[in-house]
């Protein structure tokens, strides 16, 4: 049961009295080999959990940075099968860091949700976020993931009221992903003061750890969110490093891992000298 990898990680973070750092990267960005190298390096750079995007042609919940990452990944030939292969390779050296896949429904429908759940679990995937699959339509997917022992992780937003929240968390496991701004990834900035009561509300409703993402780009902002949430997700800011390094012909892996390292340090030190929440 791979789900326990997520639970174990959050239990360890709680024991350590700190928030986790969740790094998002897109499989195949900028190419398969470099993305695999980045993935292997992320735990060493301080990532407590890793989200791996699988590229889709029409990523409607993403802002420009991750849209472009998906286009680079598709251009490099990355597929959902290739994404699972990348996770399988990662698992040869790392049995502890949870891997969450994130993407869109059509590729899973094409694969078949039941075989996909089995194949993902076998590859070493611990959780799945499907951006365009609302709870009303998620029954078959949730059943398949339950059977395979993969966590279905749901997004909640500032517009989710209490009734909606109850629907959303019903079949969520692992953790809940709180989208800190109304909108798409990587555009608006999250405000920790405004986010704090929502995190408490979601944690209460779900009885699960709450990770906050969408709109966290700097170590300072990551530290602020780390004081009030169980985990901090950074995606667009890491992906931007890839785009910039490619453009300047610099070492892509080194740039991304260095950025991840600075964010991870900010998250790890955020609650030092502070009473844990």
Partner 1 sequence: MPLVHQLDAAYSAAKADDGFQAELSSYLTHYVGRPSPLYFAKRLTDYFGGARIYLKREELNHTGSHKINNCMGQILLAMRMGKTRIIAETGAGQHGVATATVCARFGLPCVVYMGAVDVERQKPNVFRMNLLGAEVRPVTAGSATLKDAMNEALRDWVTNVEDTYYLIGSAAGMHPYPAMVRDFQAIIGREVREQVRLAEDRLPDALVACVGGGSNAIGLFHAFLNDSSVKLFGVEAAGQGLETGRHAAAINGGRPGVLHGNMTYLLQDREGQIEEAHSISAGLDYPGIGPEHAWLHDVGRATYLAATDDEALAAFQLCAELEGILPAIESAHALARLPEITREVGKGGIVVLNLSGRGDKDVNTVAAHLGRTI
The residues annotated with a catalytic role in the active site are 51, 62
Q: What is the DSSP string of 15-26?
A: HHTS-EEEEEEE
Nearer to partner 1, 20 or 65 (CB): 65
Size of the site for partner 1 (CB under 8 A): 35
Question: Could you say whether residue 187 binds partner 1 (CB under 8 A)?
Answer: yes
- 131 counts as binding partner 1 under rule CB under 8 A: no
Q: Is the CB of 49 or the CB of 184 nearer to partner 1?
A: 184
Asked if the peptide bond before residue 30 counts as cis, ω within 30 degrees of 0, the response is yes
Of residues 14, 31, 40, 79, which one binds partner 1 by CB under 8 A? 79
Interface with partner 1, residue 17, by CB under 8 A: no
Q: Residue 152 gets which letter from DSSP?
A: E
State yes or no: residue 59 binds partner 1 (CB under 8 A): yes
User: Shortest distance, CB of residue 131 to partner 1, whole angstroms?
Assistant: 11
Among the listed residues 28, 30, 62, 24, the one whose alpha carbon sits nearest the alpha carbon of residue 244: 30
Interacting stretch for partner 1, rule CB under 8 A, among 1-9, 18-26, 159-167, 205-213? 159-167
Residues that bind partner 1 (CB under 8 A): 56-61, 63-64, 67, 71, 74, 79-81, 104-107, 109-111, 132-134, 136, 157, 159-161, 164, 182-184, 187-188
């Amino acid at each position: 049961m791979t789900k326990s990898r997520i639970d174990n990680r959050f239990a360890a973070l709680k024991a350590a009295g700190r928030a986790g750092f969740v790094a998002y990267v897109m499989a195949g960005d900028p190419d398969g080999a470099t993305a695999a190298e980045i993935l292997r390096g992320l735990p060493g750079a301080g990532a407590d959990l890793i989200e791996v995007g699988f590229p889709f042609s029409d990523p409607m919940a993403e802002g420009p940075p991750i849209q472009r990452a998906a286009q680079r990944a598709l251009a490099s030939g990355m597929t959902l099968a290739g994404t699972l292969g990348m996770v399988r390779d990662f698992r040869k050296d790392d049995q502890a860091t949870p891997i969450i896949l994130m993407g869109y429904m059509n590729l899973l429908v094409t694969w078949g949700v039941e075989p996909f759940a089995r194949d993902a679990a076998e590859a070493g995937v611990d959780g799945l976020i499907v951006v365009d699959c609302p709870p009303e339509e998620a029954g078959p997917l949730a059943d398949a993931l339950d059977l395979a022992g993969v966590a279905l992780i749901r997004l909640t937003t500032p517009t989710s009221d209490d009734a909606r929240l109850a629907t959303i968390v019903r079949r969520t496991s692992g953790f809940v992903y709180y989208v800190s701004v109304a909108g798409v990834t990587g555009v608006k900035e999250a405000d920790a003061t405004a986010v704090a009561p929502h995190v408490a509300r979601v944690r209460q409703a779900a009885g699960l750890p709450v990770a906050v993402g969408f709109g966290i780009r700097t170590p300072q902002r990551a530290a602020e969110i780390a004081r009030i949430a169980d985990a901090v997700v950074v995606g667009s800011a890491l992906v931007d490093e890839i785009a910039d390094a490619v453009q300047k012909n610099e070492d892509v892996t080194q740039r991304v891992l260095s950025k991840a390292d600075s964010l991870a340090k900010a998250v790890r030190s955020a609650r030092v000298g502070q009473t844990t929440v």
